[in-house]
Chains A and B, each alone.
Chain A
C-alpha cells in the first residue's frame, strides 16, 4: 500500500511523521545513516557516484530542488540518478525534507517569492511524477483516498475550487459540472448523463472525461495550493518567532541551486529561445504600438501598468519566459537594473505621459504599481532589496487583452498567423525574422 504522505506530505499521516521525528532542526546537516541505507537499498537507484546519494536532510532538500530543475530543463536528465525520490521507502525522509524546505523558504523569502513559486511547482510536479510511476490500481486507490481526505463533503462544489481556478491551476472547462457539483463518481456520472449519451458507452465516456484524470488533477492542484498556504503561514509565524539559522542557510542554498541551474539550463534548453536584446519599436504588435501612443479614454491604468509594463520588461529582459518553464527575477537578467531604469521605465513613463490626461498627473501612485508589477514590491524606488516582494507579472495574453481592453486589439495578418495567443510571441517572431 502506498503511504498517503508519499503523495501528500501535508496529510495527517505526514504531520504525524514530523511529530514522531521530533522536528529537531539541529540535526538536519548531520549524517543520517538510515537515510543512506534506505537509498542504497533501492534497486533502481544509480549508486556509482557517491555524490548522487543525499547524506542528510539538507542534502535531500537540495536534491529535490535539483531534480525539479533538471527534470524540467535538462535534455540529458537521467531518472535513475533520482530514482529514490519515486520509491515509497523514502516517504518518512521525504516528508520531513518537504517541511524543512517549505519552512526555510517561508521564513527567508515569503510566499510571493520566486523561490516559493518554484517550490510549489516542484511539489505539484513531484506528485504528478510519483503518481505516474504507480500501478494503475494503486494509483486509483491512493487518488481516491487522498481526495476523500482533502474533501470533507461527498461531492465537491466547483466554488470550493475557486482558488485553483483563479490561479489557473484548474481550468473550469475541464470540470464536468452539474448543479454546481463537480462530477467525479461513476454512479453520479451515469445518473446525470447516462441517458443522454448516445452511440457510445457511458463507461467509456466517464473514463475519458473524468476517470482518474480529473481526480488526479484536483489532488495535485490542491496539494500545490496547500503547499502555498503552508509557506504563507510559516512566513506569518516567522515574524513572531526567531528563525532557526540552519533553515536560513538551507534557504540560501536552495535559492542558489535554483539560480545556478536555471541560468545553466535556460542558456541552452530553449530550442527556439530568443536572446534578450534592445527593444525594437518596429517589431511590436499593433496593440503595443497603440498603447505606446497613450490612452485617450478610460482604462489608462490597466493599459500602462498591467499591459505595457510586463510586455516591455519581458520583451527586453526575458523574451523566452513562456518557453523556459522557469521563473526568473528582473535582476537575473538585469543584475544592476540599469536596463530597467534606462530603457524600460522611460518607455513606460513616456506612454503614461501621452495618455489623456497624463496618467501620473492625477494618479502618481501608479509609479509604485509599475514597480510592483516588475516584482519590486510597493515602493517608490526600484531596489534589489525589495525584489521578490511582489511577482513579476508575465505579459497579458491576447485573450485577456480582448476582454479587458478590446479597443487595443486590432489584429493584423501576423497576429492571425500566430493564432493570437500573446503579443510577446508576435514580437519574438518578428525579431527572429529580422535576425535580431
Chain B
C-alpha cells in the first residue's frame, strides 16, 4: 500500500475496476461546463483545457489513456475549453495530511495517523461551515493524501477570492480575535475562550485542536522549548475546557505568545491557495492517485470512512496476495 502504481496497474484499474458510474453526480451533472486536466507521465497535469460534452466521452478517454492522474475544475465555464465565461466555482478546502502544521506521527509522507488527523480537522471545518455559515450541498472527497471539502452551495459559488479568503480565515481561526469590547459605557477585556459564540468560539476550537496535537518537536514562532514544555504539561486542562487555569499556569504574557504562534500556524490547516483560486483543478473523484495507489473517493459517511479500507483499489489487494 502507498506505493506507486505501475503502468500495467493503471490499465487494470481503469479498464477493469473503474467505471463512469463511480464519478459522483455533482461532477457528472456539470461535466460539459468543467475543464478537465490530465497528468500522463507523473510530471504534473500538463494536458489541460480538455472538455467532455458527455460522461461517455470522459469514460472513453480514461479507459483509453489510463492517465497517471485525472483532474477537473472547480469552476464552471461557458467555454471550458478556453477557460472562458466563468460562471461560478465550488468553494473548496484542501486538507493534505502531509502539510498539516502539527502532526503527531512524525512520518515523512502520509500515514494512518496523520490521515486520521486530517479527518479530525475536516470534521471541525464542516461543523463551522454548516453551523455558523449555514452552507449546504457539501461533498467530501478523500484525495489520496487528505481530504477535499467541496461546497456546491449556490449562495457561495459566485463569490470572489476576497470573500473566500475571509471565509477561510474565519473557519481555520487565522486571526487573533480582539479582546476588548465596549458597550455605550465601558470597555471590557474578554478572552476568546470566555466567548462561546461567533468567531471567538471557532478560534478557541482550532487553538484547542492545535495544542492537543503539539509534540515536543513542534516548532512555534517565538515559543522556546521551556514554554512548549509547559504547554504540553498543562494541556490536559483543556480537555475540561479549563482555559483560565491553563492561562494562569502558563503565565498571561507567555500565553499570548503561544496563542499568537498558533494563530499563524492555523493558516496551514488547509491549503489557502486552493480555496482562493477560482480556476483550480482538483483530483477527479474515482480516479487513481498513482503515486500512492489509492482511489480518490467521495466520502459518504466521514465517521465510518477508512481510507485504508474504502479507498484501496482491488489491484493493490491482489498485489499483496
Q: Is the C-beta of A248 less than 8 angstroms from some C-beta in chain B?
A: no
Contact A211 B166 (CB under 8 A): no
Contact B190 A166 (CB under 8 A): no
Contact A207 B162 (CB under 8 A): no
Kindly provide the distance from the CB of A434 to the nearest chain B CB, expressed in whole angstroms: 27
Contacts of B167 in A (CB 8 A): 172
For B134, give its contact among A180, A205, A209, A400 (CB under 8 Å): A180
Q: If A166-B162, A403-B267, A403-B276 touch, does A211 touch B198 (CB 8 Å cutoff)?
A: no
Q: If A177-B198, A180-B134, A402-B267 touch, does A209 touch B170 (CB 8 Å cutoff)?
A: no
Besides A178-B131, A179-B130, 19 more A-B contacts (Cβ < 8 Å) are: A136-B184, A162-B159, A165-B162, A172-B166, A172-B167, A173-B175, A176-B197, A180-B135, A196-B196, A200-B194, A204-B183, A208-B190, A209-B195, A209-B198, A402-B272, A403-B272, A404-B276, A406-B273, A416-B222
Q: Is the C-beta of A338 less than 8 angstroms from some C-beta in chain B?
A: no
Q: Is the C-beta of B55 less than 8 angstroms from some C-beta in chain A?
A: no
Contact A208 B159 (CB under 8 A): no
- Across the A-B interface, how many residue pairs have beta carbons closer than 8 Å? 95
Contacts of A208 in B (CB 8 A): 181-183, 188, 190
Contact A181 B134 (CB under 8 A): yes
Q: Is the C-beta of A157 less than 8 angstroms from some C-beta in chain B?
A: yes
Chain A, residues 297-315, CB within 8 Å of chain B (1/0): the string is 0000000000000000000
Contact A175 B198 (CB under 8 A): yes
Main secondary structure of the interface of A (DSSP, over half): helix
Contact B267 A209 (CB under 8 A): no
Chain A interface residues toward B at CB < 8 A: 136, 157-159, 162, 165-168, 171-181, 192-193, 196-200, 204-205, 207-209, 211, 400, 402-404, 406, 416
Contact B134 A403 (CB under 8 A): no
Q: Is the C-beta of B156 less than 8 angstroms from some C-beta in chain A?
A: yes
Inter-chain CA distance A234–B114, complex, in Å, is 56
Scan residues 30-74 of chain B and give those whose CB is less than 8 A from a CB of chain A: none
The residue in B159, B182, B183 that gathers the most chain A C-beta atoms within 10 A of its C-beta is B183
Q: Is the C-beta of B314 less than 8 angstroms from some C-beta in chain A?
A: no
Q: If A166-B159, A403-B165, A404-B276 touch, does A173 touch B197 (CB 8 Å cutoff)?
A: no
Contact A158 B133 (CB under 8 A): yes
Contacts of B194 in A (CB 8 A): 199-200
Contacts of A178 in B (CB 8 A): 131-132, 134, 197
Contacts of A174 in B (CB 8 A): 199
Contacts of A404 in B (CB 8 A): 272-273, 276
Kindly provide the distance from the CB of B45 to the nearest chain A CB, expressed in whole angstroms: 12
Q: Is the C-beta of B177 less than 8 angstroms from some C-beta in chain A?
A: yes
Inter-chain CA distance A247–B221, complex, in Å, is 57
Kindly provide the distance from the CB of A306 to the nearest chain B CB, expressed in whole angstroms: 11
Name the residue of chain A whose CB is nearest to the CB of B154: A159
Q: If A173-B170, A177-B132 touch, does A166 touch B196 (CB 8 Å cutoff)?
A: no
Inter-chain CA distance A106–B184, complex, in Å, is 38
Contact A166 B163 (CB under 8 A): yes
Name the residue of chain A whose CB is nearest to the CB of B201: A196
Name the residue of chain B whose CB is nearest to the CB of A192: B197
Q: If A159-B155, A208-B190 touch, does A165 touch B276 (CB 8 Å cutoff)?
A: no
Inter-chain CA distance A123–B136, complex, in Å, is 36
Contact A172 B156 (CB under 8 A): no
Residue contacts A-B, CB under 8 angstroms, 13 given = A157-B155, A173-B170, A173-B177, A175-B199, A177-B132, A180-B132, A197-B197, A198-B196, A207-B183, A403-B165, A403-B272, A404-B273, A404-B276
Q: Which 9 A-B pairs have the closest CB atoms?
A: A180-B134, A173-B199, A208-B181, A196-B196, A176-B198, A179-B134, A177-B132, A403-B272, A207-B183
Inter-chain CA distance A192–B201, complex, in Å, is 14
Q: Is the C-beta of B242 less than 8 angstroms from some C-beta in chain A?
A: no
Inter-chain CA distance A297–B188, complex, in Å, is 48
Name the residue of chain A whose CB is nearest to the CB of B167: A172
Inter-chain CA distance A175–B188, complex, in Å, is 18
Chain B, residues 248-287, CB within 8 Å of chain A (1/0): the string is 0000000000000000000100001100100000000000
Inter-chain CA distance A29–B222, complex, in Å, is 63
Inter-chain CA distance A199–B244, complex, in Å, is 13
Q: If A136-B184, A180-B133, A404-B276 touch, does A162 touch B163 (CB 8 Å cutoff)?
A: yes
Name the residue of chain B whose CB is nearest to the CB of A420: B264
Inter-chain CA distance A282–B202, complex, in Å, is 41
Contacts of B165 in A (CB 8 A): 400, 403
Contact A166 B160 (CB under 8 A): yes
Kindly provide the distance from the CB of A229 to the nearest chain B CB, expressed in whole angstroms: 17
Inter-chain CA distance A181–B134, complex, in Å, is 7
Inter-chain CA distance A199–B199, complex, in Å, is 19
Inter-chain CA distance A177–B197, complex, in Å, is 8
Contact A171 B196 (CB under 8 A): no
Inter-chain CA distance A174–B190, complex, in Å, is 15
Contacts of B133 in A (CB 8 A): 158, 177, 180
Contact A165 B198 (CB under 8 A): no
Inter-chain CA distance A207–B135, complex, in Å, is 27
Inter-chain CA distance A336–B94, complex, in Å, is 48
Q: If A177-B133, A403-B273 touch, does A171 touch B155 (CB 8 Å cutoff)?
A: no
Contacts of B156 in A (CB 8 A): 159
Kindly provide the distance from the CB of B200 to the nearest chain A CB, expressed in whole angstroms: 9
Inter-chain CA distance A402–B170, complex, in Å, is 16
Kindly provide the distance from the CB of B147 to the nearest chain A CB, expressed in whole angstroms: 20
For A197, give its contact among B130, B160, B162, B196 (CB under 8 Å): B196
Scan residues 161-183 of chain B and give those whose CB is less than 8 A from a CB of chain A: 162-163, 165-170, 175, 177, 181-183
Inter-chain CA distance A85–B175, complex, in Å, is 38
Name the residue of chain B whose CB is nearest to the CB of A170: B166
Contact A211 B160 (CB under 8 A): no
Contacts of A181 in B (CB 8 A): 134
Contacts of B135 in A (CB 8 A): 180
Name the residue of chain B whose CB is nearest to the CB of A136: B184
Contacts of B170 in A (CB 8 A): 172-173
Contacts of B181 in A (CB 8 A): 208-209
Contacts of A159 in B (CB 8 A): 155-156, 159
Contacts of A179 in B (CB 8 A): 130-132, 134
Inter-chain CA distance A402–B160, complex, in Å, is 18
